[in-house]
Amino acid sequence: MKEEIAKFFKGDLMDDMETLQKYSRDASLFTVFPKLIAFPKDSEDVKNIVKWVSDNKVKYPDLSITARSAGTDMTGGPLGESIILDFTKYMNRLISFDSQKMEITVLPGMYYRDFEKIVSEKKLMLPSYPASKSICAIGGMFANNSGGEKSLRYGKTENYIMSSKIVLSDGNEYEIRKEENNQNFLGEIYKNLKELIKTNEAIIKKAKPNVSKNSAGYYIWNAWNGKNIDLNKLLVGSQGTLGITTEITFQLVSIVENTRLVVIYLNDFNKISELVNEVLKYDPESLESYDDKTLKIAIKFFTSFLKGRGLWGSLKFAWSFWPDLFMLLKHGFPKIVVLAELSGTQEDINKKYFGLKKYLDRENIFSRISKTKTDTQKYWDIRHESFNLLRKHVKGKKTAPFIDDVIVRPEFLPKFLPELENILSLYPELEHTIAGHPGDGNFHIIPLVDINDQKIGKDVLEVSEKVYDLVKKYNGSITAEHNDGIVRTPYLSKMYSREVIEIFQKIKNIFDPKNIFNPGKKVEGTKEYIFSHLTVK
């Protein structure tokens, strides 16, 4: 296979064991060994390898292509058993940037940290960045329709796609804009999609999850307005199962520079819905949270936050936690810490906090507001780095994300969160942290497991069933941001009827009739595949 591809492929091809081992993992709990890693130089390489795979699918029935950028996915989305296309080596740069129009065009392998440096110099941002923004890449953000701390106010990546270039299964590259394109194979896709959606419009409408964010299945509801299809809104979040993205143009927004965090300490979950409603009155930039376990991890590994700050920076950073230490000594560890980011002039922020504090004092809820940007940033450091701290510092155990992205409407949280904890309490071997976005009702549960514990494989399947049944009980979604991948595709039937699952399969067939793009994600995944490819069993 490698020799045949090398005849037309300008980029690098690697199949040594060390490289295959590296690409058999992402940030999920799976190991899936590929056959070949390809590093395309440009879109011509992508087109040519797609054509070759399509032409040789009969000769090599197991042939497929899985696109990969930074490999930070927690679902197994960029793992595959055939060819992996890594975009970070060559297809990783800026194409154009117009700060006046607030538009930027980049290649999918560009790291978000490099992207952010460019746009932030003009006081602009792509607000759908995830907590992993320091290590993730743009292609993954597109593939997963990423969201994060700013999504409460700004929405997910789908809202910022102006156009994209996609190599479809016929091996040609197409530019996708909001208006429909009736040329050749792409025209057939539009025609068949419209026929499918119109025929099943009542079923599709009834199946729409009643939550503010959802990444489960193909999100048809965003793409169809009753007359036309915005194909980018179907491609974003499709995890490379419908085509391979080679270029993306984003609309940016201005950075709101003056913000402060209100740090709120809750002793239980009973008041969280009421608190969310109160905070939303003040139009927050974001509304985040993390639990007591996350806070304890941050304290335990506090020295990790001091690296690279220098002596004076470390002392200043450490001293900034004195008010928090005082609150902990006085009131004890909270069950959950809520971060409400208020914006505006300093006078605006003070007025908003004064209004919010009236409610907090009345309910005997303790809080403080950050005084400086450094004071504000430390809380984001805890929120962003807790997952990495777990991965780096806890010996003999590994992070095992598999129920990491559930969402229910915020009004259900006082009942949902204790019931979730009751399920997890039955599995003491699944030490875990909870953090997330209470403004949306979206929480990330990250278990920490003993890699030698033989019960883990059974636990993954059992706990997934129980937690997703609980999500179904409260009419939520099993994934708000992180997508399906290997880990959740078999559980889509918890949310959707057999008819809707069949519609998803038909969408896949319209785009990819030979099943060459990232098989086993979004459709046709199995629990047996989950169990057989767990890194821990």
Bridge partners of 447? 432
CA dihedral 185, 190, 194, 195 (to 10 degrees): -10
Determine the pLDDT at residue 154. 95
Pairing relationship of beta strands 173-176 and 161-167 according to DSSP bridges: antiparallel
Determine the pLDDT at residue 394. 62
CA dist., res. 116 & res. 344, Å (int): 22
pTM beyond 0.75: the answer is yes
Determine the pLDDT at residue 389. 64
User: Looking up tokens 């020295």, which residue turns up?
Assistant: 303
Pairing relationship of beta strands 161-167 and 244-251 according to DSSP bridges: antiparallel
CA dist., res. 333 & res. 327, Å (int): 9
What angle do helix axes 184-199 and 498-511 make, rounded to 10 degrees?
170
Phi, psi of 382 (to 5 degrees): -65, -45
Phi, psi of 300 (to 5 degrees): -60, -40
Tokens of 301: 């590994």
Determine the pLDDT at residue 201. 95
Tokens of 142: 């597109």
Determine the pLDDT at residue 69. 97
Bridge partners of 97? 104
Residues of the chain under the 70 pLDDT cut: 299-311, 313-322, 385-396, 537
Neighbours of 280 (CB within 10 A): 14
Tokens of 210: 């009643």
On whether the CB atoms of residues 360 and 264 are closer than 8 A, the answer is yes
Give residue-wise pLDDT tens across range 275-330: 999 999 999 999 999 888 777 777 666 666 666 666 676 666 666 666 777 777 77
Phi, psi of 260 (to 5 degrees): -140, 150
Determine the 3-state secondary structure of 341 from DSSP. Answer: strand
CA dist., res. 381 & res. 339, Å (int): 12
On whether the CB atoms of residues 60 and 1 are closer than 8 A, the answer is yes
CA dist., res. 402 & res. 486, Å (int): 10
Tokens of 260: 């402060």
Q: With CA atoms as reference, report the closest residue to 435 among 387, 477, 469.
A: 387
Determine the pLDDT at residue 322. 67
Give residue-wise pLDDT tens across range 332-342: 778 888 999 99
Query: What domains sit in the chain, N to C, each tagged with a CATH number?
Result: 2-86 (3.30.43.10), 97-254 (3.30.465.10), 256-393 (3.30.70.2190)
Tokens of 392: 């780096």
